[in-house]
Each structure stands twice: as C-alpha cells, then as structure tokens.
C-alpha cells in the first residue's frame, strides 16, 4: 500500500505545480496587456528629427513625417511676431506707438486728386531788373525822373505839389507806412494830382541788419498801409538810407518789388544848417544830368533849421532841365516790357 500512495502524491504535486504555473502566466499576461499607451513589446527604433510620435500599432510601420511652414492664419490665441511677413502670411501691423507716415491719399477714379502746386504769378516787373538797385532808367532817352522820399514830416509837400502842377510835371513819391499813417490826406493829394506812389518800408530801418522775415514785414506792412490809404506802391521800392546788399535786393525782389536807387542826391535834406542852399541843390542836380537820370529829393523839413530846400529849389530845377532839352517821366518808365 505504501508505493501507490507515494505515486498519487507525486501526481497531485505535479498537477498543482502546473496549475500554479498557469496562474502565474495568466497574471503576467494580464499585467502586460494593461501597460501605458505608447509602450511596445518590440524595441523602439531610433527616430529622426520631425518624425511622428503618434501612438498605436501603426506608429512603428508609418514612414517619418517632415515638418513644413504653415500657411494657415494664426489663431486669436497665438502671438504674432512683429517681423517682415513671409510669403503667404498676412502682413503684420506695426505697434500702435509708431505713428503712420503721412502720405497724400491716392486719387480715386473720377475723384479729385491732390491739390496741384499753385502756378507762380507772372513777374510784376521785367526780368532784366532783377538783382539790381537801379541808378538810372535804362534806355529812357532824354528824360529825368523826379523822386521824393517821405519818411519824416510833410512840410514841403504843399509847395512841391503846387510846383509840379504849375510846370505840368509828374513825379514819383516813395512813402513809408508811418508817414502814410500820419498823413492820410497827403496821400490823397499826391494820388489825385496824378503822381506815382512807391514803397519806402514801414518804419525806415536799415535793411542789411534785418533778416528776411523782418524785411517782409517792413515791405508788406508799408504796402498794406499805402493800399488802405488809396494808393498802390507796387512794384517800386527804395531802400531806407540806400542801405542794401545782394541778399536784401533778392529779398525785395522775391516780394514782387524792383529796387530803385538814384543817380543824384540833391542833399537838400542837410538844410541850411548843413551848409546847403537852394542854388547848391539845383547845381548838383544839373551837374548829374544824363538820359534816364533819377533825382532824389525829400518832402520833409530839416529837423534843426526847418528848411525845405528841395521844395524851394524845385522850380529852378525843372526850368533848367527843360532848357537842356530834357523831359520828365515817372519811374513807371522802368516797367516797359522786355
């Protein structure tokens, strides 16, 4: 009886071992089947940059994918770099802190375009007079221009106007704006007698010490004042004190005026206290007699002695010039077309 029992025990132990082995195998299989996604029973092959890492059995057999620039518009959540846009991308707007460059709007079909540059006005005097401060009337023949500066008082004006009217002569009067403000009636008398009015600045300063803006104020100020008084000084201008240079002449030209100097200054403004007489004034004028002569005289009286030598000498001056075979002209003779 002892041997059969031992054989049965061995068989039972072998069966138990098989069962136990089966149980262990089942547990191992269960654990393997529940492993995390992305693991594989096969060893992972090395991947190149840009290869796909999608999970699943197909991942091991699919060819590696390569990356390409995206042409899709960025989503609202994606930041956009402020850089030059590549082809196919939407242009990137500049930061709001950068002001736009002002450019004129393009003309639309059938609509008005940008305003054209204004056409410059025609020159108010012949181009041959540009850059000059004229001392004679060119090509005028045997004529003389009598000119009278008004910057102080009007003491000599009644006698001057009376003489010119009696002799049938017209003259040119260079007026400052200040003189016009102080003598509006005198402007009317000059104009109503048929004489020419011209610009002598607003306040009679030396022009070479002024900048271009101040020159414009002087010239335009006098112009507006004279126009308001009923006369037009354009385009004749005389520098106060005769003080000028190339820059100031160019500035006056740019304002539409031709600069007119003189051939002879009678020096009547020096008065008797300065050693001048009516005879000396007339003699000086006749000594400079020539075709196109421009004579400088003054309306006001000498501030020291009150003399008005130019007004007093004027009848003799006109008679002697006429006797020499000369006539008289205003400075409008300068403005004949080229």
Q: Which pLDDT score is estimated for 20?
A: 78
Q: Per the residue annotation, which of 149, 265, 310, 312 is the catalytic one?
A: 149
CA 15/CA 10 separation, integer angstroms = 9
Give the rounded percent of residues in the chain with a pLDDT score beyond 90: 62
User: Residue 265: in which H helix or E strand, if any?
Assistant: strand 264-265
Per-residue pLDDT tens digits for 202-260:
999 999 999 999 999 999 999 999 999 999 999 999 999 999 999 999 999 999 999 99
Q: Which pLDDT score is estimated for 168?
A: 98
Q: What angle do CA 279, 284, 286 make, to 5 degrees?
A: 95
Cβ neighbours of residue 1 under 8 Å, at least 6 residues apart? none
CA 238/CA 223 separation, integer angstroms = 13
Cβ neighbours of residue 217 under 8 Å, at least 6 residues apart? 202
Q: Which pLDDT score is estimated for 170?
A: 98
Phi and psi at residue 21, to the nearest 5°: -65, -40
Q: Per the residue annotation, which of 195, 298, 310, 312 is the catalytic one?
A: 298
Q: Which pLDDT score is estimated for 110?
A: 52
More confident of the two residues 17 and 76: 17
Of the CA atoms within 13 Å of residue 316, those in its CB half-sphere come to 15
Give the rounded percent of residues in the chain with a pLDDT score beyond 70: 69
Name the one residue in this structure whose structure tokens are 């995390």. Answer: 36
How many beta carbons lie within 10 A of that of residue 173, not counting itself? Answer: 27
Residue 235 to residues 129, 170, 238, Cα–Cα distance (Å): 11, 18, 10
Q: Is the dihedral of CA 64, 66, 72, 75 positive or negative?
A: positive
Q: Which pLDDT score is estimated for 23?
A: 80
Q: Which pLDDT score is estimated for 296?
A: 98
Q: Confidence band (pLDDT; 50, 70, 90) for 282?
A: very high
pLDDT at 149 over 90: yes
Q: Is the dihedral of CA 164, 325, 313, 183 positive or negative?
A: positive
Nearest CA to 174 among 191, 207, 156, 151?
Answer: 151
Check if the beta carbon of residue 120 is closer than 8 Å to that of residue 306.
no
DSSP, res 169 = -
Check if the beta carbon of residue 62 is closer than 8 Å to that of residue 52.
yes
Nearest CA to 260 among 303, 199, 306?
Answer: 199
What Rg value do the Cα atoms of the chain yield, rounded? Answer: 53
Q: Confidence band (pLDDT; 50, 70, 90) for 135?
A: very high
pLDDT at 313 over 80: yes
Q: Is 149 a catalytic residue?
A: yes
Q: Which pLDDT score is estimated for 74?
A: 35
Q: What angle do CA 313, 316, 318 make, to 5 degrees?
A: 105
Q: In this structure, what token pair is assigned to residue 75?
A: 């989503």
Per-residue pLDDT tens digits for 87-115:
333 333 333 232 333 344 454 455 555 55
Q: Is 195 a catalytic residue?
A: no
CA 68/CA 226 separation, integer angstroms = 81
């Amino acid at each position: 009886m002892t041997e059969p029992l031992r054989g049965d025990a061995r068989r039972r132990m072998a069966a138990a071992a098989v069962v136990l082995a089966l149980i262990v195998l089942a547990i191992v299989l269960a654990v393997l089947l529940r492993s995390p996604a992305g693991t594989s029973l096969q060893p992972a092959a090395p991947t190149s940059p840009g290869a796909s890492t999608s999970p699943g059995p197909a991942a091991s057999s699919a060819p590696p994918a390569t990356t390409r620039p995206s042409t899709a518009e960025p989503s609202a959540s994606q930041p956009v770099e402020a850089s030059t846009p590549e082809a196919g991308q939407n242009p990137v707007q500049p930061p709001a802190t950068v002001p736009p460059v002002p450019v004129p709007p393009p003309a639309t079909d059938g609509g008005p375009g940008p305003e054209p540059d204004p056409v410059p006005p025609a020159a108010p005097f012949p181009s041959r007079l540009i850059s000059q401060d004229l001392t004679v009337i060119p090509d005028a023949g045997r004529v003389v221009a009598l000119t009278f500066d008004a910057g102080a008082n009007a003491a000599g004006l009644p006698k001057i106007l009376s003489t010119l009217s009696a002799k049938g002569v017209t003259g040119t009067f260079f007026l400052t704006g200040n003189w016009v403000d102080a003598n509006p009636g005198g402007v009317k008398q000059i104009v109503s007698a048929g004489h020419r009015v011209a610009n002598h600045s607003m306040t009679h300063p030396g022009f070479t010490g002024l900048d271009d803006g101040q020159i414009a104020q002087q010239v335009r100020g006098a112009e507006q004042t004279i126009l308001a008084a009923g006369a037009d000084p354009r385009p004749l201008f005389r520098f106060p004190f005769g003080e000028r240079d190339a820059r100031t002449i160019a500035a006056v030209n740019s304002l539409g005026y031709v600069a007119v100097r003189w051939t002879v200054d009678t020096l009547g403004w020096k008065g008797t206290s300065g050693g001048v007489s009516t005879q000396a004034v007339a003699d000086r004028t006749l000594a400079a007699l020539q075709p196109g002569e421009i004579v400088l005289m003054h309306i006001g009286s000498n501030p020291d002695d009150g003399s008005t030598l130019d007004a007093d000498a004027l009848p003799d001056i006109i008679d002697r010039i006429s006797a020499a075979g000369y006539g008289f002209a205003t400075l409008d003779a300068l403005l004949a077309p080229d």
